[in-house]
Amino acid sequence: MHKESKKILIINAGSSSIKWSLFDDKFSVEANGICEKIKLPEGIVTLKFNGKVYEDKLKLSDFFAATKKMVEQWKEHNVIKNFDEISHVAYRIVNGGPKLRETVEVTDKTIKYLQEAIDLAPVHNPGALEAIEAFESLFSKAKHTLHFDTSFHATLPKLAYTYPLNAKLCEELNLRKYGFHGLNYQYVTQRMQEILGKKSVNLVILHIGNGASLCAVQNSKSIETSMGFTPLTGIMMGTRTGDFDPSLIPYIMKHKNLTIDEVMDIVNKKSGLYGVSKLTSDFRELNIKISEDNEDAKFAFELYCTKISEYLINYLNKIEGKIDALVFTAGVGENQENLRTKVIEKIKLINLKIDEEKNQNAPRGKETLISSKDSLIPIYIIPANEELLIAKEANKFK
C-alpha cells in the first residue's frame, strides 16, 4: 500500500487573518491561502491550489471558525483527504519575548511564555495564540512548533541590544532591542553560504518591504539590526516613521489634544512613505507619481533612500574583516530597481557599483548578482522565503 507523504503547514496569524502555506515532504509548496476579516461581518477564505484560486465569503466569528472553514475548503478541493496527512504545524511568531528566543515545541509552558509577551506584539500575538488553540484542536496528532522573528537576533552583543535608558527600568521591564525579520535574515544568510560555498559569511542584508529593516551579519550571526523593542524604530518604512525624536510624542499630544494611542497610531500607520508623500505607501503608486513629477512623491522617495543608506554605511563599518556581500530582499528590495540604484548611489565612502543592465533586467523572484565587476562588495537580490526556512526547521521536530 502506498504511504501518503506527510505535509507541513505554515501558519502566519495576524489580528484578524491567517496566512498559510502547505509544504510536501520535499519542501515544495502544494497549496497556500489566507483567511481574512476574521471577527468582522464578512470574512474571506481564499485557497490557491493546482493553478486555480477558490474564494468563499462568509462570517468568520473567531479563529476556530476560520480554521474549520479553511480545512473544509481543503477537503472540498482535495488538498488533503484526512487530518493525519498534516505531520507538522509551524507558527510564525513576531516576538516571543525574553523567554522564547529559539524555535520550540508548543507546550503549556511555551504558551504561558507567549501569553506573557503579548504586550511586545499586541497586534500579532493574540491572533497567534487563538490560531494555535484552533489548529491544535483540529490537528491533534501533528507536531506543533513556534518560530520567532526575533530568534536570529539572539546573538546581538550587549552593546547592540542595550538602550541608554535607566538600567534598573530596563531590567524590570525587559527593555532592550529584540530585532525583527529574523526568519528571513536567517534564510538569506543560509542561501548566501550556499551560493558562495562558505561555512560562514559576512553580510549586510536590506530587508525592504512595507515594514523594513537592515541587519549586519558577522560569521553568519546577527550583530546589529535596525528594528528595536518594537518594529517602529530604524529606517523609514511604508507607514512607520522609523527613528525620530520621542519628545515629539508628548508635544503632538499637547498641541493636537490627542491620546497616546492616537499618536502611536499616527507614527505606526500614517507616517513613513505614506505620511511624507501625502499619497501612498505603495511603491508602484509612488513611482507613477514620481514619473508625473510630483514633488511630494519625489521627496518621499529621496528621504526613504537616504534613511536606508545612512544605516547601510553604519552597518558596513560594524563588520570586521572582508564583507562577502550586500543583499536586497523582501518585496520592495527585490522589485524596485530604482530604489536599489538610489541607495547604492548615496554611499560615498567606499566604491559600491550596480550594473544597471543587470539591475533593470533582474528577473522577478530569482536570485541575481546585480553589482558591476569593479564594485568593492558584490551586491545580490535574494527573494525572501521565511516559510521554507520554517518548514525545514519544523521538520527537525519528530
What span, in angstroms and rounded, lies between the C-alpha atoms of 75 and 70? Answer: 9
Whether residues 41 and 144 fall in one domain:
yes
> Among the options 56, 149, 261, 355, which is catalytic?
149
Is 351 within any annotated ligand binding site? no
- Backbone CA torsion sign across 162, 166, 170, 171: positive
Is 211 within any annotated ligand binding site? yes
Is 208 within any annotated ligand binding site? yes
Read off the pTM.
0.92
Give the model's pLDDT for residue 1. 34
Whether residues 204 and 333 fall in one domain:
yes
Is 386 within any annotated ligand binding site? yes
Tally of domains within the chain? 2
Give the model's pLDDT for residue 127. 85
Whether residues 137 and 278 fall in one domain:
no
355 in a structural domain: yes
Whether residues 29 and 130 fall in one domain:
yes
What span, in angstroms and rounded, lies between the C-alpha atoms of 260 and 267? Answer: 11
77 in a structural domain: yes
Helix axes 125-138, 108-116, angle to 10 degrees: 160
Is 284 within any annotated ligand binding site? yes
Give the model's pLDDT for residue 81. 84
What span, in angstroms and rounded, lies between the C-alpha atoms of 220 and 194? Answer: 12
Pairing verdict, β 104-105 and 7-13 = unpaired
Closest CA to 19 of 82, 92, 122, 75: 92
**Residue 254: Cβ within 10 Å count:** 9
Q: How far is CA 133 from CA 18, 58, 108, 203, in A?
A: 13, 21, 11, 38
338 in a structural domain: yes
Residue where one domain finishes, among candidates 148, 182, 208? 148
What span, in angstroms and rounded, lies between the C-alpha atoms of 352 and 316? Answer: 12
Closest CA to 150 of 201, 184, 127: 184
SS3 236: coil
265 in a structural domain: yes
Is 43 within any annotated ligand binding site? no
Low-confidence ranges of the chain (pLDDT < 70): 1-5
Give the model's pLDDT for residue 120. 82
What span, in angstroms and rounded, lies between the C-alpha atoms of 318 and 327? Answer: 16
In this structure, are residues 34 and 17 in contact, taking their beta carbons and an 8 Å threshold? yes
Give the model's pLDDT for residue 4. 58
SS3 309: helix
Whether residues 15 and 141 fall in one domain:
yes
Whether residues 359 and 244 fall in one domain:
yes
State yes or no: is 149 an active-site residue: yes
Whether residues 130 and 219 fall in one domain:
no
180 in a structural domain: no
Whether residues 137 and 227 fall in one domain:
no
164 in a structural domain: no
For residue 75, give the CATH number of its domain.
3.30.420.40
Which grid coordinates belong to 257?
489634544
Is 333 within any annotated ligand binding site? yes
CA angle, corner 133, sides to 130 and 136, nearest 5? Answer: 145
Residue where one domain finishes, among candidates 133, 148, 163? 148
305 in a structural domain: yes
Q: State the residue range of the domain holding 105.
A: 7-148
In this structure, are residues 54 and 46 in contact, taking their beta carbons and an 8 Å threshold? yes
- Cα 68 off chain centre by: 27
Residue where one domain finishes, among candidates 148, 163, 181? 148
Closest CA to 205 of 197, 274, 218: 218
297 in a structural domain: yes
- State the burial class of residue 398 (Cβ atoms within 10 Å of its Cβ: 0-12, 13-18, 19+): exposed
Closest CA to 301 of 265, 329, 347, 338: 338
Whether residues 140 and 203 fall in one domain:
no
Whether residues 349 and 207 fall in one domain:
yes
Distance, first Cα to last Cα, the chain: 23
